Structure 1
Amino acid sequence: MPSRARAGSSVDDTAPGGRLPADLTSFEGRRTDLNQVKRLLGETRLLTLAGFGGVGKTRLALRAARELVRSHPDGVTWVELADVRDPCLLRQAVVEALDLPDLPGRDTWSVALQHVAERRILLVLDNCEHVLEPVAEIVDELLRHSPGLRVLATSRQTLGVPGETVFSVAPLPVPPPEKAAEPGVASLFPSLALFRERAASVVPGFELTPANQVAAVELVRKLEGIPLAIELAAVKLRVLGLDELVRRLDARLDVLRHSARTGPSRHRTIEATIDWSYDLCTDDERTLWARASVFTGGFGVEAAEAVCAGGTLPEEAVLDVLEGLLEKSVLSRVESHGQVRFRMLEPLREHGQHRLRVLGEHDDLVHRHLEWVEGLVGEACLQWFGPLQEAWCTTLRLEQANLRAAAEHCLTHEPCHERSLPLVGTPWFLWIALFLDEGRQWLERAVATCPASTTDRAVALGTLGYVAGLQGDQARAAEAADEARGIAVALGDSRVEAYATHVAGLSALFHDPQRSKELLTRALGLYDGHDALDDHLTAVRVQLALAHIYCGEVDAAQEHFDACRELCTLTGERWLFSYALYGLGFVEKMRGDAERAVELARQALDIKWFFRDLCGLATTMDLLAWAQADAGRHQDAACLLGAAESLWTSFGIRLFGSPDWLSKMRDAEQACRRELGDRVFETAFRAGREMSHADAIATALGRVQVPSPTALADPTVVKLTRREQQIADLVAEGLSNRAISERLVISPRTAEGHVENILAKLGFHSRSQVAAWVVEKRVTMPSAARS
């Protein structure tokens, strides 16, 4: 039976299931979610779509309702509850939506129960959170009386009805910064596609172009893929240019004010949506919402207890209040590597920041957050070299945004300037092992902001020299190390002098191995005279061993590497253990045992991949390529040389610019070119260079095969069917399987099957390799033959 629409709503009279609310905008990026919702509704009688206001729950429910009409022969009934504030009117709203005739003298609710009891109906209850308890009672009653009824609810909180299944609706995926300028990125990321579609609706002729795409990506990233926020932003393009809109996003709650006069009142502005969620919270939940806004990138329970408890919110109450905010979709829950964290979407966090200032607690909470980060870093420094290292790696990666926020606060607030030095300078491993690509900027800013000759500055300069040296900037590395050593000597601090000498020796390693050996030997002696942490002692011995290798002293190098391996094994340390394995692999290569070198390099690479240690991954990938060339596997070596180049370009200069190391690379390349020929070498090298880092590691570890020699040697030998060749050409254009299916008017599954067949025939494992093969084929085949 058709359902009656709520008065004042837009309806679609042509909908096959009755008068459902009309789709006023397109449905972007939810196909996977939609399929999951439809599947779950086939398995459960009550499904709640939960999520933050504006995330797209209603749009998803509406699309699901449209597509489920045929499986509910007695109709789909839509009940809009946003404007129903009085719980007593809820039953009336359901009765009206069911479009039941007036029956004087009879209880309308009893009529409704009898009506649904005899039918197979999908009842959609939209926006339940503000009347949660009475809605839960009604749903429970309806389900008990109606075996053929299914209920789909949208709510910021779960209903809590027995048998309820909850589907969390997440924001739309956003492009990472590194893809901002890539052609066709909108087809891969629904948030950008939504923005493009809505922008075109308000600015006829709007298109994403190379000139504006980066700004559009920045916008959807700042809005975190929230559909409502994206749509509100697009509306403002009537009066603001895209670049101007992005610049003004810091004042988002003022800028993004919807001027439309239709739709639920809470959708007129993103601010109204957030305020509505705030009004639903208890006093404790509002307090925690405001205080937790000081975190960036998420937080765990212990962090919330440490930073947010106090006053009217005791520490023991924080866990229960977190649960309340989670139920109301103010927070989202993420579990990674066994750690449960909570995250607040950026618009909600900004709202919390505003409330925090109104409460007069902002400065105090920022200070407490800084103290918490400093404590976290201090504990990490004490426990890094040991059995908890991998756990600390996970924790520090998860807390990266909070570390950044604390560092930024120190560097932009004068009373905290000096605190920036130990925060970024002491945890040297933080930048070397985890965040090499960003460590340089924090260290440069800290030493520039704090010019006084203190021990903390000397340590920070030492760490800066360490990072600069690994990036190939040996001039800056030597300068920083010399200044650090000068401060240490002036202050009479031989422990810091050891560190500065260590860094100077590392920098010299890449251009003067003999000088490096002298400096590193001196540093080792200085370290031995103090209670130095084992990580410094182990690192200096790894680097001293490499200096011995380039001085032709392989046996001495092995002694140091063996000692490092034994100490790491004894203590449970893993990161420097991987460097010991790398070094021992280098020793075996120098002694001519290529197979043992390959084995050790792969062991090292596997460990380094866990840490995402770019420097270690790049150096080890090169070593593995050299060893594979020595072992006669020249195509593997060529591919790995290309993969190594990709890793190096992500953070620094190939092999630190070291002539000695570069000569090893050139020897391997020349051997590969002699055996493969230039064309096959270049194709294999390009295939490796174009792999993702994950694919490159899998290839290096032997978990997937290097591309087929036949395909690389002669692209004309491998024969694809006409359809497969057509699809391979589209893959080379950068089209996804879905885009291919739309272009060729075939199903996505069929397109996927063709791509898999192409990969199998060619012996490839990535789309980038197919693209390279297509390009090579075009070069080697005459145009007439291709046609």
Structure 2
Amino acid sequence: MAQHAISFVFGPFRLLAARHELLAQGVPVTIGQRALDVLLALVRRHGELVTKDELMSAVWPGLVVEENNLAVHISALRKILGKTEDGKSYLQTVAGRGYRFVAPVTQEDVARAVVPPVVPVEPKDAPHNLPQLLTRLIGRSDELGVLQEHLKRHRLVTLTGAGGVGKTRLAIETGRQALPAYPDGVWFVDLAPIRGLVAALVAEVLGLGHASGSAGSLAAVLKGQQRLIILDNCEHVIAESAALVETLIRTCPELSILATSRERLAIAGENVFRVPSLPTPDATDALTAQAAQRFGAVEMFVERAAALGEGFALTNQNAAIVAAICRRIDGIPLAIELAAPRLRVLSERQLASGLDERFGLLTGRSRTAVPRHQTLQALIAWSYELLDRTEQQMLRRFAVCAGPTSLASIVAVAEPDAAHADVLDLVISLVEKSLILPDRSHDETRYRMPESTRYFALDRLAAEEQHDRHRRHARYFAERFAQATRAFETSASELWLARYGADVDNLRTALTFAFGPDGSRDIALDLVGCSHVIWSELGLMLEHRHWVERARACVTADTPPLTQARLLSWQSGDVKDADDPSDIDDALSAASLYRGLGDAFHEGKMLMRAGAGRLMQDSAQTSTPADHDSGEALLRTARALLAPSGDTKALAQCVSALASARLFADDMGQAQALHREALAITQRLAETEAVAASDGSSGLRT
């Protein structure tokens, strides 16, 4: 019985919803998957206004993306669709609100067999030696479109990216689609097996004989030909490859070259395209199978797993764990190829947990794969062995860091005696070689290592040095979060999170080491005592509670009073309920310890916490205004202790709490005055933060 699918017909176009494909006059249109998702959402509601929020939720479910991403895809759709027969646009922009598909649309319920897949026919007069791919290329439609445009504008395009990210497959498919543009053919040359004589190998593959074995003689033969040469795996012969390519590009004006390498060739005229990993969903328990399948990494994993013949299917029940597997292996296609076959003997959950031992687990079984692609470890070792000694050392030491890490942090952990510029040069070199990834989504450029590379590098770090680096890392982040806590009092929360929020993965790593068998109890207690604010600001309450409880279980009579006070602080009561009696007791105990240390500001913060808790307890009871004196008295004492430090968030909170106390006492005039005072403090803080941001200064000075 024929299966049926919905198609939408408008103008010369047919949009096949189930197959996620757009045809023009029956021929598939090259279009990015995100742009196609936008088009499908608009066409399904043709004639209606679809708001920007609705489109972004449909196209990027569960993700926070910039609005200009949507504008880019709308612009791409306008170029693809053009105008209707009467010269009108298919899409209408409703300023500030969204978009409307305004052309007439006919919806058809047709048997899928009626619209067979269109197989592109390669021109018979375009010779090539492109390898035949045995599986389809997944999740790369956007990249293919971009690369086609790059090849139209540039004669040298280099694909860079981490090992296993799919540079070779993408280059082959790009070459296949480009065949009509190169009458003299598209030729694929794999440089991996050689250690020299690059020009000779190219000549041999092109069938030009040994007489063309030098760069100059090869250029003389190729001059005037319209060819595309794909040079695959240039990284280990990078200098010789660059010299050959420079000669060919300069001498042969009709020749184009598409290269793949862990690092760019670094010659004039080169256009570099960094191949990203396949996208993966963010962590969420509410992830559905339909939403997960829209991400390239999950789509590839599902296809490879289903091909095993073991009955695997993506469901709402296993979608979150499959997404977690794809995230843990960084969305790297090779790692997905190695991971999926493990489902023959492991459940999805076992596979996810086993990825901590990923190099033993991700062992290939392909008899035809080149040796460096048979295991994930061999693949990364291939890149590692091409580094010089200083680069290898930096990679090993940087592996102690986790998540996006600032350059200052890298220096402190990896090379504390080196100049920032020297460390930056090493980091940039590793970025060029695709072993470290730049992360520009923060207030400063940060750097991170793909998890698989990080596991490999840590394994190469000698046990004694690994302990020393982990200890140095933990001590550094204890100091960094102490600084962050001081800065919080006079910083706008949004800017503060931009500076420190990305360090949470490093905090987790430092805590895990410090509480571990080879760690340090003192550093562990300092880390917990100085990191209350970051957990609170990120809303990670349960994780915060876990570390606080572990820390308090380690407190002894020898623990310094300052450390005890910090552990009792619980920073604003976000771990416990604000009216929890034990939280009030902790705050009063911390206040007493701070009083003994002569720290009036933090004594005031703790009295404010205790006073606010008492006030909430009192307000829940049927009482007279006089019964609120205990909480209000604590708040007034706290205010007196906080005020000498100037405008701070703590002072604003304390004044606001006093306003609530007056409101409970039916003193409306005083309550309003105190609220205005709290607001004025907050406004002055915002103005101070703007000035501090301009000169790089921030933080509470006591």
> TM-score normalised by the shorter chain: which range applies?
0.7 to 0.9
- Match for residue 463 of structure 1 among 570, 575, 579: 570
Deviating more after overlay: 26-35 vs 334-343: 334-343
Task: Provide the rounded CA distance (Å) in 1 between the counterparts of 2:356 and 2:683.
Answer: 49
Task: Provide the rounded CA distance (Å) in 2 between the counterparts of 1:467 and 1:440.
Answer: 9
> What is the CA-CA distance between 1:426 and the residue it aligns to?
4.0
8 A contact 1:307–1:368 mirrored in 2: yes
Which runs of structure 2 are paired with 1:333-732 in the superposition (5 Å)? 333-357=438-462, 360-386=464-490, 390-413=494-517, 416-437=520-541, 438-450=543-555, 454-463=561-570, 466-468=573-575, 473-474=577-578, 477-486=580-589, 488-489=591-592, 493=596, 495=600, 498-510=604-616, 512-513=618-619, 518-526=630-638, 528-529=640-641, 534-572=648-686
Task: Provide the rounded CA distance (Å) in 1 between the counterparts of 2:518 and 2:381.
Answer: 34
1:94 matched to 2:223? no
8 A contact 2:122–2:179 mirrored in 1: no
8 A contact 1:499–1:523 mirrored in 2: no
> What is the CA-CA distance between 1:57 and the residue it aligns to?
1.0
Letter of the structure 2 residue corresponding to residue 457 of structure 1: Q
Letter of the structure 1 residue corresponding to residue 497 of structure 2: C
Q: Which residue is equivalent to 1:76?
A: 186
Q: Which residue is equivalent to 1:322?
A: 427
Letter of the structure 2 residue corresponding to residue 423 of structure 1: L
Q: Which residue is equivalent to 1:301?
A: 407
List per-residue Cα deviations over 1:283-305 (Å, max 9, x = no partner): 11011000000110021222122
1:188 aligned counterpart, secondary structure: coil
> What is the CA-CA distance between 1:532 and the residue it aligns to?
5.4
Task: Provide the rounded CA distance (Å) in 2 between the counterparts of 1:106 and 1:53.
Answer: 31
Task: Provide the rounded CA distance (Å) in 1 between the counterparts of 2:188 and 2:661.
Answer: 74
Which runs of structure 2 are paired with 1:733-772 in the superposition (5 Å)? none
Task: Provide the rounded CA distance (Å) in 2 between the counterparts of 1:218 and 1:384.
Answer: 33
> What is the CA-CA distance between 1:229 and the residue it aligns to?
0.8
1:246 matched to 2:318? no
Q: Which residue is equivalent to 2:174?
A: 64
Task: Provide the rounded CA distance (Å) in 2 between the counterparts of 1:244 and 1:492.
Answer: 52
Task: Provide the rounded CA distance (Å) in 1 between the counterparts of 2:629 and 2:220.
Answer: 89
Q: Which residue is equivalent to 1:43?
A: 153
CA gap of 1:23–1:554, structure 2 versus 1, over 3 A, is farther
Q: Please, what TM-score do these two structures have when normalized by structure 2?
A: 0.73
CA gap of 1:465–1:352, structure 2 versus 1, over 3 A, is same
Q: Which residue is equivalent to 1:22?
A: 132
1:412 aligned counterpart, secondary structure: coil
CA gap of 1:211–1:573, structure 2 versus 1, over 3 A, is same
Q: Which residue is equivalent to 1:176?
A: 282
> What is the CA-CA distance between 1:231 and the residue it aligns to?
0.9
CA gap of 1:116–1:557, structure 2 versus 1, over 3 A, is farther
Structure 2 stretches lacking a partner, 5+ long: 1-118, 620-624, 691-702
List per-residue Cα deviations over 1:650-685 (Å, max 9, x = no partner): xxxxxxxxxxxxxxxxxxxxxxxxxxxxxxxxxxxx
Letter of the structure 1 residue corresponding to residue 290 of structure 2: G
CA gap of 1:509–1:444, structure 2 versus 1, over 3 A, is farther
Q: Which residue is equivalent to 1:155?
A: 261
Which runs of structure 2 are paired with 1:81-160 in the superposition (5 Å)? 81-85=191-195, 87-88=196-197, 90-100=198-208, 102=209, 112-160=218-266
Deviating more after overlay: 491-500 vs 143-152: 491-500
1:399 aligned counterpart, secondary structure: helix
Letter of the structure 1 residue corresponding to residue 448 of structure 2: R
Task: Provide the rounded CA distance (Å) in 2 between the counterparts of 1:400 and 1:242.
Answer: 28
CA gap of 1:548–1:163, structure 2 versus 1, over 3 A, is farther
Q: CA RMSD in A?
A: 3.1
2:313 aligned counterpart, secondary structure: coil
Task: Provide the rounded CA distance (Å) in 1 between the counterparts of 2:152 and 2:430.
Answer: 30
8 A contact 1:48–1:158 mirrored in 2: yes
List per-residue Cα deviations over 1:685-738 (Å, max 9, x = no partner): xxxxxxxxxxxxxxxxxxxxxxxxxxxxxxxxxxxxxxxxxxxxxxxxxxxxxx
1:70 aligned counterpart, secondary structure: helix
| Percentage identity across paired residues of the two chains | 31
> What is the CA-CA distance between 1:202 and the residue it aligns to?
2.5
- Match for residue 222 of structure 1 among 324, 328, 335: 328
Task: Provide the rounded CA distance (Å) in 2 between the counterparts of 1:539 and 1:525.
Answer: 14
List per-residue Cα deviations over 1:212-264 (Å, max 9, x = no partner): 33332221111111111111111222333333222221111111111222132
Task: Provide the rounded CA distance (Å) in 2 between the counterparts of 1:134 and 1:537.
Answer: 66
8 A contact 2:138–2:296 mirrored in 1: yes
> What is the CA-CA distance between 1:168 and the residue it aligns to?
1.0
2:273 aligned counterpart, secondary structure: strand
8 A contact 1:502–1:520 mirrored in 2: no
> What is the CA-CA distance between 1:116 and the residue it aligns to?
2.6
8 A contact 1:498–1:524 mirrored in 2: no
**Could you say which structure has the higher helix fraction?**
1
Task: Provide the rounded CA distance (Å) in 1 between the counterparts of 2:322 and 2:502.
Answer: 27
> What is the CA-CA distance between 1:25 and the residue it aligns to?
2.4
8 A contact 1:465–1:480 mirrored in 2: no
List per-residue Cα deviations over 1:767-787 (Å, max 9, x = no partner): xxxxxxxxxxxxxxxxxxxxx
8 A contact 1:124–1:152 mirrored in 2: yes
- Match for residue 190 of structure 1 among 267, 289, 296: 296
Letter of the structure 2 residue corresponding to residue 334 of structure 1: D
2:189 aligned counterpart, secondary structure: strand
Structure 1 stretches lacking a partner, 5+ long: 1-11, 577-787
Task: Provide the rounded CA distance (Å) in 1 between the counterparts of 2:131 and 2:212.
Answer: 30
Task: Provide the rounded CA distance (Å) in 2 between the counterparts of 1:483 and 1:108.
Answer: 79
Task: Provide the rounded CA distance (Å) in 1 between the counterparts of 2:307 and 2:275.
Answer: 25
8 A contact 1:95–1:109 mirrored in 2: no
CA gap of 1:179–1:200, structure 2 versus 1, over 3 A, is same
Deviating more after overlay: 223-232 vs 371-380: 371-380
8 A contact 2:515–2:521 mirrored in 1: yes
8 A contact 1:34–1:64 mirrored in 2: yes
CA gap of 1:254–1:539, structure 2 versus 1, over 3 A, is same
CA gap of 1:370–1:107, structure 2 versus 1, over 3 A, is closer
Letter of the structure 1 residue corresponding to residue 424 of structure 2: L
Task: Provide the rounded CA distance (Å) in 1 between the counterparts of 2:324 and 2:334.
Answer: 16
> What is the CA-CA distance between 1:208 and the residue it aligns to?
1.5
1:218 aligned counterpart, secondary structure: helix
Task: Provide the rounded CA distance (Å) in 1 between the counterparts of 2:594 and 2:212.
Answer: 93
Q: Which residue is equivalent to 2:695?
A: none
Task: Provide the rounded CA distance (Å) in 1 between the counterparts of 2:502 and 2:326.
Answer: 22
CA gap of 1:107–1:236, structure 2 versus 1, over 3 A, is closer
Q: Please, what TM-score do these two structures have when normalized by structure 1?
A: 0.65
> What is the CA-CA distance between 1:338 and the residue it aligns to?
4.4
Task: Provide the rounded CA distance (Å) in 2 between the counterparts of 1:466 and 1:559.
Answer: 26
Task: Provide the rounded CA distance (Å) in 2 between the counterparts of 1:107 and 1:37.
Answer: 30
8 A contact 2:298–2:323 mirrored in 1: yes
